[in-house]
Structure 1
Amino acid sequence: MNGLLGMKLGEGGCAEIYEWEDKSKVIKLAKSHTAMEALANEFGNTQAVWEKGLTVPRPYELTEVDGYPGMVTERIYGESLMERFMQLFMQSSADRAWTDSDDENIRITARSLSSIHSHVIPSMPPQREALRWHLHSARYLTLDEKKRVVERLDRLPVKHQLCHGDPNPGNILMRDSEPVVIDWMDASTGNPEADLAEYIIMIRYSVLPPGLPVDVPGFFDSVREHIISVFSEEYERLTGLAYREVEQWLVPLAARKLNVGSIGEEEKQRLLEFIRAEL
């Protein structure tokens, strides 16, 4: 193994994260099913937003380690918003309570997205094209259902703003009090409503990972709509874009998630039930 490769720091569906060279850099090392092209696209996206002045990890280079493609970036020291939520969930039921600081974590996500959406980078891939591809490829839906979802998408207005594509709490790291947004693989130019719908769908329909205390799913169910409300209100305060304008994007984005391999069968069945009720 390459001598520059250090301690493993994390892992996702497509790659593993390791220290690189020294403790100021990391390498995102692709798994066997992830091509260099995918990392090259992510590197280009990250470079574009970094050059635009967004608070993101500085990209350094593309390389290979034992035949596996890798992307070297600045290392960000700080916990993710996802880690903050998990700390809350792991507390005993007697101590666990949703507080103003938890609301603030939600507002941080809304503020980060509003900042991203205030930029335009025409070189980014077109959002609408990728969405159509996912909808046509989505499992579980019939051909007629796919056609009706695509027709819904085609009726929506077209915008040309920078979008992240995967605004989950694990992709926002807190460096001191500054949010740093990572993982730009799905970045595009398009409608901010798609990012907002992606976040709302995740909060409303996600299934928590195993290993949590048995009462946590019930607790999370009790705060799901509160999280969405705080998030939507903060984003509207900053941009004027209201929840009702995002609502019409929920079906296309839920259908897109049916084509994602990183979520489980139970969550996909929840999404499918929602889509069919709306259609």
Structure 2
Amino acid sequence: MSAQDRINLLSRLQSLSNDDRLCHGDFHPGNILGSEAEPFIVDWLDATSGPAQADACRTYLLALHHEPWLADQYLAAYAQASGWPAERILVWLPVVAAARLAENVIDEDSRLLALATKS
């Protein structure tokens, strides 16, 4: 990633909302246990506070690599439930992809870099 890409990402980050909500940080289907009637969410190790849209976008990104259809369904359901348009969630995608790059998930690097540097 170039220095200019980093500057662009930091500028984008500064322009995004800075809400203070409970964020799971690693929400995906493997972290939902129980039944459909009584599900419960586990693995709160990466929990933090911050913008809910960023947390939703990270969930979308995690699903996008393995199950794109699930990512799209999740995004649509989250947008409907939250009342936020999908675009308000996806505006976080370059920033979230760049943060995921720092996790060194080797088989995702090229895809994440493309998403992080997309204007």
TM-score by length of structure 1 reads 0.40
- Stretches (4+) displaced over 4 A: none
Correspondence for 1:270 among 98, 107, 111: 111
Question: Is the radius of gyration larger for structure 1 or structure 2?
Answer: 1
- Any conservation in 1 of the 2:60–2:72 contact (CA below 8 Å)? no
**Who is 2:61 aligned against?**
201
Identity %: 28
- Match of 1:165, SS state, is coil
**Who is 1:253 aligned against?**
96
* Larger RCO (alpha carbons 8 Å, 6+ apart): 2
- Match of 2:22, SS state, is strand
**Who is 2:25 aligned against?**
165
- Any conservation in 2 of the 1:201–1:254 contact (CA below 8 Å)? yes
Per the TM alignment, residue 175 of structure 1 is displaced from its structure 2 partner at its CA by 4.6
Task: Specify whether residues 176 and 239 from structure 1 end up closer, same or farther in structure 2 by C-alpha distance, changes over 3 A only.
Answer: closer
**Whole-angstrom distance in 1 between the partners of 2:49 and 2:30:** 22
Correspondence for 1:227 among 70, 80, 88: 70
Superposed CA RMSD in Å reads 1.8
**Whole-angstrom distance in 1 between the partners of 2:116 and 2:58:** 14
**Whole-angstrom distance in 2 between the partners of 1:254 and 1:183:** 21
Normalized per residue, the structure richer in strand is 1
TM-score by length of structure 2 reads 0.86
**Whole-angstrom distance in 2 between the partners of 1:186 and 1:270:** 23
**Whole-angstrom distance in 2 between the partners of 1:270 and 1:253:** 12
The equivalences for 1:45-194 within 5 A come to 141-175=1-35, 177-194=37-54
AA in 2 matched with 1:173: L
- Match of 1:197, SS state, is helix
Q: Aligned residues, how many?
A: 119
- Match of 2:73, SS state, is helix
- Please list every run of 5 or more consecutive structure 2 residues that lacks an aligned counterpart in the other structure: none
Per the TM alignment, residue 176 of structure 1 is displaced from its structure 2 partner at its CA by 6.7
AA in 2 matched with 1:198: R
